Structure 1
Amino acid sequence: MTPLDKKINEHFGGLVVRKDLVKAVKGNAIVPSYVLEYLLGQYCATSDEDSIQTGIETVKEILAKHYVNRSEAGLVRSQIRETKLRKIIDRISVELNDKEDVYQATFANLGINKVAVPASTVKKHQKLLVGGVWCIADIEYQHDEDEKTVPWILESLKPIQLSSFDFDGYLASRKQFTTEEWIDTLIQSIGFNPESFGRRSKLLQLVRLIPFCERNYNLIELGPKGTGKSHVYSEFSPHGMLISGGEVTVPKLFVNNATGSLGLVGYWDCVAFDEFAGKAKRVDKALVDIMKNYMANKTFSRGIETLGAEASMAFVGNTQHTVAHMLRHSDLFDELPTKYHDSAFLDRIHFFIPGWEVDIIRGDMFTSDFGFVVDYLAEILKQQRSFDYSHLYATKLQLSEQISTRDRDAINKTFSGLIKIIFPNQDASDEELEELLVFAIEGRKRVKDQLMRIDQTYADVRFAYTNPQGEEVVVKTLEEDQYPAIYYKSGESDSESTELSTPAQQAEPVENAEAPGPEEGHVTVKENQRGIDFDTLFGPYVAGATKIVLTDPYIRIFHQARNLMEFIETVARVKPDDERVEIELITSEEEFSSEKQLEFFEKIQKSCLPIGILFSWTFESTIHARHIVTDTGWKILLDRGLDVFQRYDANDSFSISNRLQKHRTCKAFEVTYLRT
């Protein structure tokens, strides 16, 4: 186990599970992850490998014996008839038959309905009435000569949810983890490998959890297909309900005026709308109007009565165009149906997750390490719904007075949700508070900036805050920094916005003798930014050089050697065919697989020789700096060396991010260009 796995098991023993076990036991059982992890938590919540293997076999046996597969429903019904009584795992929903004044259950997979349910059971588990709940149930068959009598009898019913929860114990255990360790624990609990994500990307994943811990929180995520947008809402928590955006009605979501029965918002902590985008979708305008009121005021009307609810709403959908295309031709809400592409509705959104920053899910992004049983994490979040931590930053940081009340509320709710998830003990440092506040401001600013494109009556807002040093800091979205020429509706950036580009990008081609050469300067690239490549970062500065020295202690493993090769490719592109260039690498020797490292370097050396590039290397054990020095008088300081790109599938020859650097997401890094 990793050191983090050991720590998780030490402080949360019996409440964690190895995340790759879900696939090991699922088979053909079409059940949410929280159902499987509930069972795994009963039998595999340990770090002992023998116990885990025994537990896996037990869970497999339980699923094989008790889970009802729809294709085998007839056989299972026959078996219950013969044995009279059987324990099954199924999704059960309940309706009130007001003509006979009885509650009747429907078993989704078993295919039976009108099964009598005691009123006491329904009163105890009211979610049975809306959407249904996965349960372990004892079902009995007793035939009666009376044709009106249903032969199926529900003996007992137990929802698959955590039975008890020690919140104080959870807070005490949280104190044993650093912030980075805790964030990684949460990412592993969701099922992902933390090493596949940067800090910003981890926060984007955690924002998806806020609807479960923050009341009446409205979240939207739009982005490419395959990024796992709906996974959290369908698999993560027994307190959330995922519905198709086109399948919801006013009675189902809010209230049935004919029967007086409450809809989904009355019983679930989070209602998520899948496949929410799609311009051609037909949408009920009455539903949109009621949603506007509910999202703003937390209330809706039932006839002459006004009711309140606490359900948060999450909207997820796919985009068809790039960010640049949407900014140039419309706005970032462009894919929404017309009736939802409405400023009054969108103004109720508290945070816009930029789905285009979230990588398409790959196999290497999943974890085989330990994380919380998701049902336990779901209870952690539910316990905190009544808390409000939006005040924590107020003594250190102040929002700009220009920020409106609605914008301020949105920022505060996001900030409070992130504090609940990451710092439940309210012990964040000043720097960590500032990081979360900036992140919350950016998510709301993304909404507001698009609203100003859609509706010209919205006034411009200065999204800024005052830091502990008394300095005003203006917050920008990543798209604003990346595409300043098209981000603003007027086509011009504001007075304080300048294009984020390297001095090399601003210079004319170096081969033009009349053009000014590259200039000294400094550039900061944000995490998840795209559009960066070695040709623009380094090309103009290495052009004309005959000797280049690259100092980087971390050119050891495959992806680092590949970065080196791509740097050499940049040199090859700017080098005249009749010139020779020497490239010397100063790095440190790999401790455990130095022979592989030497193999990489020898292959690079052999490959470059025919094109006039002489590659050599020197090992030094004490180097720490990372920089490039040329014999033309340039020194390029690299805080991350050449390792500036996030993980991508280097084995997929048809992946555009594999072929072109500018389509890869970047890590956060800085480059400084100096004349020596």
Structure 2
Amino acid sequence: MKELDQKINKVFGGKVVRKDLTSRIKGNAVVPTYVLEYLLGQYCATNDDKTIEEGIDLVKQIITQHFVHRDQAEVIKAIIREKGNHRIIDKVSVRLNDKFDLYEASFANISLRNIPINDVYVKKHPKLLSEGVWALINMGYLPMKDPKISPWIVESIKPIQISYVDIEEYKELRKEFTTEEWVDLLMQTIGLNPEEFSRRSKLIQLTRLIPFVENNYNLIELGPKGTGKSHIYSELSPHGILISGGEVTKAKLFVNNSTGDIGLVGYWDVVAYDEFAGKSKRVDQGLVDIMKNYMAQKSFSRGTHVYQAEASMVFVGNTDNSVNYMLKHSNLFEALPKDYYDPAFLDRIHAYIPGWEVQKLRSEMFTRDYGFIVDYLAEVLKHLRKEDYTKSYIDLFELSSTLTTRDKTGIEKTFSGLIKLLFPHGEYTEDEARSLFEFAIECRKRVKDQLEKMDETFNEDEVKFRYIDKSGESKDIETLELVQYRSKYQLETSKELGQTMPLASPEQTTKEKHFNELAPSHIEIRDNQMGISYESLFGPYLKSASVYKIEDPYIRRPYQIRNFMELIQLILQYKTPGEYIRIHLITNNEEEYLPQTLNNFKTIAYSLKEEDIDFTYEFKDVIHDRIIDMDNDWRIILGRGLDFWQRVDSEFDIAYYDQKSRKCKEFKVTILNHNNKSLLEDC
């Protein structure tokens, strides 16, 4: 067991489970993860292997004997009839039969309809009246002489969810973990392997949880297929419901005027719309109008009454085109149905998750480590909905006065949600708050940028997505996709041209260097940023150099050596034919990689002789810097060394061959003249 898993079990013993166990017991059972982990939490919430195996056998037995498969419904009915009663696991929903003034239950898998149910259960569990609840149900059977009377009896219902959590204990135990450890724990809880994700990618995944922890939060995520956009909303929590975007009506979502029954927003914390995109989908305009009011005012009116609700709205769907195509030819909302492609509706969205940055899920991206029992986390998040952190940034940062009220609200609610998720105990540094604050600003700016393209009235007032920290320094925030594609498609409006870009575009910088005298420079690259190559970062500075000293402790694994070879390839491009040059590498190594690395370096040295390059190397135990020093008086300081891309393993991925197609890790590059001491000290 790795160190973090040991710590998780020690601190949150009995509240965590090994995440690969769920798939081991699920089999063909079409049942949400929180149902299975509820059972695992009863019998497998331990790190003792023997107890886990015994628990798995017991849970499998429970699923086999009590979970109702649709194709076995008649068999289960026969068992109930023969035994007189039997416990089942099924999804049950209830409706009022006003003709006979009684509640009637329907069961999803066992195919029983209109079964009388005691009012007590409905009052205790009101969600039964909406889309239904997964539950442990004792079903009885009593033959009746009158065929009009149902022989089926609901003897008891126990919704499958944890009944109590100590929120203060949860906050106190959070202090036992570093921020990085806590983020990884949350990633493992939702079933993902944190080692496969960059920090920004982790933040994007966890942003999907904000609707569960923040009241009346409106979130949209559009992106390619297969990235797990809807998984969290159907599997994580019994307090959220996932519905098809085309299957919702005013009565189902808000209130049925004929019966007075409240809709989904009255019973669920999160209402998520799956497959929300689709230009040809037909939508009730009346529904869109009610949603606009609800998303802005937290209320809706039907008939003569006004209703309040706290449900968050989530919209997930697939995009039809690449990001660069949408930015050039339309906007990032282009895939939405016509009636939702409405600036007034979209302006109510608090945050837009960049779904195109999320990798398609592969087997190695799922975790086998420990995380919270999802139902435990679901109850914690429900409790945290009562707390408000929307103004907690005020002591650290000040938002630009040019932002609209809706812009500020979106930023504040996203920041509040992230604080509740990552720092529920309320303790964080200014830098930790800054990274979340900037991400929250970016998520709202993504919405506003597209509205400005859709409707020119949004351009009437100058709006700057800028903040000032307590030191008085201001910073403009830009969305990552615009940083990447701005120079390529020249998307700047006259207003944008007047803004200071927070991050330099390496591609544009390199173009200028071809025409101007080379000068010291400093470039910051963001997590998940694409379009970055050695050539775009520092290519022209290699010109005229004949001696290269490269210091990088991580040139050992195959993909790291490939990066090094790509640097040599670039050096060859700037090498004058017939010129003799020398490359000396200083790196570190580990025992398991050393034999193969030595063999690889010898092969490299042999092959480069034909190119008039003398390649030498040495190993040092301690290397602090990641530097390329050259005898042309230029020094390149690489914050992460040569390995600043996120790893690409498949040879069938274009990013394996094209540096600009790879996603980056966050890093900085400083290029200075050897004699420029002041810039070196500043860096």
Deviation of 1:519 after TM superposition, in Å, equals 4.4
Residue 501, structure 1, aligned to residue 505, structure 2? yes
Equivalent residue for 1:482? 484
Deviation of 1:482 after TM superposition, in Å, equals 2.1
Structure 1: distance between partners of 2:490 and 2:240: 35
For the 8 Å contact 1:182–1:422, the answer to whether it is kept is yes
Equivalent residue for 1:657? 655
The change in CA–CA distance for 1:142 and 1:46 in structure 2 (over 3 A counts) is same
- Tell me the alpha carbon deviations over residues 555-600 of structure 1, each in whole angstroms, 9 at most, x when there is no partner: 2333322322332333345556755554322101214442243344
Amino acid aligned to 1:285: Q
Residue 672, structure 1, aligned to residue 670, structure 2? yes
For the 8 Å contact 1:397–1:466, the answer to whether it is kept is yes
Structure 1: distance between partners of 2:40 and 2:398: 46
Query: Partner of 2:35: helix, strand, or coil?
Result: helix
Residue 318, structure 1, aligned to residue 322, structure 2? no
For the 8 Å contact 1:504–1:518, the answer to whether it is kept is no
Deviation of 1:603 after TM superposition, in Å, equals 4.6
Q: Which moved more, 1:86-95 or 1:309-318?
A: 86-95
For the 8 Å contact 1:503–1:522, the answer to whether it is kept is no
Structure 1: distance between partners of 2:408 and 2:574: 50
Equivalent residue for 1:194? 194
Structure 2: distance between partners of 1:641 and 1:545: 20
Deviation of 1:17 after TM superposition, in Å, equals 0.6
Deviation of 1:255 after TM superposition, in Å, equals 0.7
Structure 2: distance between partners of 1:503 and 1:457: 32
For the 8 Å contact 1:549–1:584, the answer to whether it is kept is yes
| Identity score, percent | 52
Deviation of 1:352 after TM superposition, in Å, equals 0.8
Query: Partner of 1:457: helix, strand, or coil?
Result: helix
Structure 2: distance between partners of 1:569 and 1:89: 62
Amino acid aligned to 1:177: F
For the 8 Å contact 1:270–1:311, the answer to whether it is kept is yes
Where in structure 2 are the equivalents of 1:344-423 lying within 5 Å? 344-423=344-423
For the 8 Å contact 2:187–2:193, the answer to whether it is kept is yes
Structure 1: distance between partners of 2:302 and 2:388: 29
For the 8 Å contact 1:144–1:151, the answer to whether it is kept is yes
Amino acid aligned to 2:476: V
Equivalent residue for 2:590? 590
Where in structure 2 are the equivalents of 1:529-548 lying within 5 Å? 529-543=529-543, 545-548=545-548
- Tell me the alpha carbon deviations over residues 172-215 of structure 1, each in whole angstroms, 9 at most, x when there is no partner: 11111122211111111111122222222222111111111111
CA RMSD of aligned residues (A): 2.1
Equivalent residue for 2:677? none
Equivalent residue for 2:469? 467
Structure 2: distance between partners of 1:672 and 1:465: 25
The change in CA–CA distance for 1:35 and 1:612 in structure 2 (over 3 A counts) is farther
Equivalent residue for 2:110? 110
- TM-score, L = length of structure 1: 0.95
The change in CA–CA distance for 1:604 and 1:191 in structure 2 (over 3 A counts) is farther
Structure 1: distance between partners of 2:664 and 2:598: 27
For the 8 Å contact 1:452–1:460, the answer to whether it is kept is no
Deviation of 1:431 after TM superposition, in Å, equals 2.1
Equivalent residue for 2:680? none
The change in CA–CA distance for 1:503 and 1:361 in structure 2 (over 3 A counts) is closer
Amino acid aligned to 2:497: D
The change in CA–CA distance for 1:433 and 1:537 in structure 2 (over 3 A counts) is closer
Q: Which moved more, 1:455-464 or 1:9-18?
A: 455-464
Structure 1: distance between partners of 2:101 and 2:490: 60
- Tell me the alpha carbon deviations over residues 280-338 of structure 1, each in whole angstroms, 9 at most, x when there is no partner: 11111011000000001111112101111110000111112222211111111111111
For the 8 Å contact 1:130–1:267, the answer to whether it is kept is yes
For the 8 Å contact 1:484–1:497, the answer to whether it is kept is no
Structure 1: distance between partners of 2:599 and 2:235: 45
Amino acid aligned to 1:300: F
Amino acid aligned to 1:428: Y
Equivalent residue for 2:520? 520
Amino acid aligned to 2:498: S
Equivalent residue for 2:679? none
Where in structure 2 are the equivalents of 1:45-444 lying within 5 Å? 45-444=45-444
Q: Which moved more, 1:609-618 or 1:284-293?
A: 609-618
Deviation of 1:217 after TM superposition, in Å, equals 0.5
Query: Partner of 1:461: helix, strand, or coil?
Result: coil
- Tell me the alpha carbon deviations over residues 334-358 of structure 1, each in whole angstroms, 9 at most, x when there is no partner: 1111111111101100111111121
Structure 2: distance between partners of 1:26 and 1:438: 40
Q: Which moved more, 1:196-205 or 1:259-268?
A: 196-205
For the 8 Å contact 2:476–2:500, the answer to whether it is kept is no
Query: Partner of 2:562: helix, strand, or coil?
Result: helix
For the 8 Å contact 1:604–1:615, the answer to whether it is kept is yes
Q: Which moved more, 1:44-53 or 1:516-525?
A: 516-525
The change in CA–CA distance for 1:55 and 1:601 in structure 2 (over 3 A counts) is farther
Aligned residues: 670
Deviation of 1:622 after TM superposition, in Å, equals 2.5
- Tell me the alpha carbon deviations over residues 338-381 of structure 1, each in whole angstroms, 9 at most, x when there is no partner: 11111110110011111112122122211111110000111110
Query: Partner of 1:568: helix, strand, or coil?
Result: helix
Residue 552, structure 1, aligned to residue 552, structure 2? yes
Where in structure 2 are the equivalents of 1:570-585 lying within 5 Å? 570-575=570-575, 581-585=581-585
The change in CA–CA distance for 1:636 and 1:27 in structure 2 (over 3 A counts) is same
Amino acid aligned to 1:85: N
For the 8 Å contact 2:240–2:271, the answer to whether it is kept is yes
